[in-house]
Structure 1
Amino acid sequence: MAAKDELGRAGEERAARHLIDLGYTVLDRNWRCAQGELDIVAVRGAHLAVIEVKTRRSAAFGHPFEAIDGRKRRRLWQLAHAWVEAHPDLARARSVRLEAIGIIGADPACGELEHLVDLS
């Protein structure tokens, strides 16, 4: 596995633990369909959260959230709708929102973590 992939997986693991600590229930990780992949799908209360995780060793090439531009948000919404269609029982009566977790640090397990709760 490439170092970049290992960094990403470690970041997603840290993000999932962070969400669980906040009271989220993780429903899916690395969910794939023909349109792409969602990092994490979780619920907390009445919200179904589609969470994009971006992990960087440093901010030398920009903050992780800078990679989530308008085009990326539109794609995440498309993927969120595909997930809801594939899992109607889990998504019923919940509002859907996009969230992001950015991690900066050589070791994602102890790097700086930021969590944006609503990317609308």
Structure 2
Amino acid sequence: MSTTSDLGTHGERIAAAYLTDRGLRVLDRNWRCREGELDIVAREGDALVFCEVKTRRAVGFGHPAEAVGHAKQRRLRTLAQRWLAAHDEHAPDLRFDVVAVLVRAGRPALVTHLRAAFS
């Protein structure tokens, strides 16, 4: 992985596999609109889950999940509204999760899944 973009793509693949292994069904990945991008949209039972994936190689600048601040949360809420308007998916519950992926040299990635990280 030579670039930040490669690292992010790698982390999103790890996160999608992690979520799928835990029973979530991935509906969309890297969905884009004018306001930005949703990393993963999934379904878990009656819930639509909008997942933000943050990937890092180290925690020198904090844990990857800490990168999802208030401004990012606001943007993700807007993106979720845009995604819902563009797709024929309905669910009684909507949830925002953060999946933090810490890629470690020579060892498996460490995945932290924060369910309902914000509302």
Match of 2:101 in 1: 103
Q: Which amino acid aligns with 1:99?
A: D
Q: CA deviation at 1:84?
A: 0.3
Aligned to 2:114: 116
Q: What secondary structure does 1:23 align onto?
A: coil
What is aligned with 2:58? 58
Amino acid at match of 1:68: V
Deviation at 1:64, TM superposition (A): 0.7
Percent identity of paired positions between Structure 1 and Structure 2: 46
TM-score by length of 2: 0.92
Q: Report the secondary structure of 2:4's partner residue.
A: helix
Match of 1:93 in 2: 91
Cα RMSD, aligned residues only = 1.5
Q: Greater shift after overlay, 60-69 or 50-59?
A: 60-69
Per-residue CA deviations over 1:27-52 (Å, capped at 9, x if unaligned) read 00000001100000000100000000
Could you list the per-position Cα deviations for residues 72-109 of structure 1 after superposition, in whole angstroms to 9, with x for gaps in the alignment? 1111000000000000x22x1331110010011235x8
The one-letter code of the counterpart of 1:3 is T
Instruction: Trace 1:18-33 onto structure 2 (pairs within 5 A).
Output: 18-33=18-33
Write out the 4+ residue segments of structure 1 that deviate beyond 2 Å after TM superposition: none
Cα distance change, pair 34–2 in 1 and its aligned pair in 2 (3 A): farther
Superposed displacement of residue 2, structure 1: 5.3
Report the counterpart of residue 36 of structure 1 in structure 2: 36
Structure 2 runs not aligned, ≥5 long: none
- Residue 71 of structure 1, CA deviation: 1.0
Aligned residues: 117
1:68 aligns with: 68
* TM-score normalised by length of structure 1: 0.91
